[in-house]
Structure 1
């Protein structure tokens, strides 16, 4: 979000929290991208804020409620606030439990065990499978972005052709193995290491696809503790995921610090692993 919109979003989240009986004196911005993630103090609640038109918040709330009911390792909605999308001044706001993170990182075994449990729980949910977006939709969005030279003006043409080729070649790879509802982006930024274990956040990214696509986001050694993976599919998913996130870094509106530098670095990695 741009600075003016961010300020409005903070005010909206603070106002809703206050109307729900939570005390808010300060708002700490934890993440600012297409959505704003805030820690509201002293209530110590996590707020996620997005434009009201972003319907994904309702999907995330519904999924969180279902996963909490089976004790899944996914961060739950804050029980002090009504479990729904709260609308205020053009923004949708949801409230989540805040989990302090521990100093030591997750071990690969802890990471894999939590991800396996999340996958098991997602398989057991009575979700309308066809209503959950397929992972290929994410590939297609990246391909469209790459083809739009107005949105990605800084991509060297040789790299544009290279990335487009990988996205096209590997797009259907994700349909090669058994599919289920997966997290979609369980990278290290979306899993919290706490004293009570690992907790996954950002459920809005959930989609349909093979579990190997999820493992492709995790550190490589996590896969060593996750049985039953297809090593060839995992290798291809790692290349596909890297191509997708590399493409995001070239979006003219990408706000990630050092995004272009990362884009160049990841293209070099892709060339190395794809020969």
Structure 2
């Protein structure tokens, strides 16, 4: 991301030109949610995205805010999950393994680590097919974690809408439960999240599978940074070992 216009505008630069449709959909989603009264990061007016030197760029109003609490995330998710998208928006179905294989393939990891991640991904694909959500399919954020909301004087603002799609609400709820399991949220914060949303995904019998898929995605994302520093490499290796043995206690650091 780049900051422009004396800090008033954020330019989001995609990884490549193949992200044009995703960027265009994110802009359309943001404008739809803004019309619905959901506070989101707002794209600038005019036709977007822009094709610039072999990549794709979108321009957004900069939002100044502070970190908030899981209960605030629950409130905005509850509202999002009740919305019916306009027919022309053409939201995709959830792909819980989106970009996972690509990230593993391109990561600077030892072949044995890549093989471990691929084996786990294949196993989880089979388990995912057997999961039966209990909440009604709806519009979901796709990456609903506390890092994608900010508290402002006008209310909580939701960001990173490129993963908005149609799928089970449990997919949005599982991250907060996982963060509690990792010690990143307290039990009290998680209980407040559940109270506000009205559902505890941890009590659902599909939670363990969704949790492991989320862990795999977190590891594959961090694996893109392999080789940047010994500390990151140590974290990646720890996470891969934990993924290979679900019974191991997690001592992960947030990135």
TM range (shorter): 0.7 to 0.9
Aligned-pair distance for 1:84?
Answer: 2.0
User: CA RMSD of the aligned region, Å?
Assistant: 3.4
Q: Contact 1:174–1:209 at 8 Å: present in 2 too? A: no
Q: Contact 2:124–2:209 at 8 Å: present in 1 too? A: no
Q: Contact 2:142–2:165 at 8 Å: present in 1 too? A: yes
Q: 1:150 to 1:76 in 2, by over 3 A?
A: closer
1:73 aligned partner = 39
Q: 1:175 to 1:60 in 2, by over 3 A?
A: farther
2:86 aligned partner = 126
1:87 aligned partner = 51
Q: Contact 1:186–1:217 at 8 Å: present in 2 too? A: yes
- Alignment partner of 1:101 out of 65, 76, 88: 65
Q: Contact 1:163–1:247 at 8 Å: present in 2 too? A: no
Q: Which runs of 5+ in 1 are unaligned?
A: 1-36
Q: Greater relative contact order: 1 or 2 (C-alpha under 8 angstroms, separation 6 or more)?
A: 2
In 2, the alpha carbon distance for the partners of 1:186 and 1:117 equals 13
Aligned-pair distance for 1:57?
Answer: 1.0
Q: 175-184 or 107-116, which moves further after superposition?
A: 175-184
Aligned-pair distance for 1:267?
Answer: 3.6
Alignment length (residue pairs): 230
Aligned-pair distance for 1:195?
Answer: 3.0
Q: 1:74 to 1:88 in 2, by over 3 A?
A: same
2:29 aligned partner = 63
Q: 1:58 to 1:164 in 2, by over 3 A?
A: closer
Q: Do structure 1's residue 228 and structure 2's residue 194 form an aligned pair?
A: no
- Alignment partner of 2:172 out of 214, 234, 252: 214
Q: Contact 1:73–1:117 at 8 Å: present in 2 too? A: no
Q: Do structure 1's residue 176 and structure 2's residue 147 form an aligned pair?
A: no
Q: Deviations over 1:76-121 (max 9, x none)?
A: 123xx4252123333322211211123xx3123222112212222x
Q: Contact 1:248–1:254 at 8 Å: present in 2 too? A: no
Q: Deviations over 1:11-65 (max 9, x none)?
A: xxxxxxxxxxxxxxxxxxxxxxxxxx12214151111122344221111111111
Q: Contact 1:73–1:199 at 8 Å: present in 2 too? A: yes
2:219 aligned partner = 246
Q: Contact 2:91–2:165 at 8 Å: present in 1 too? A: yes
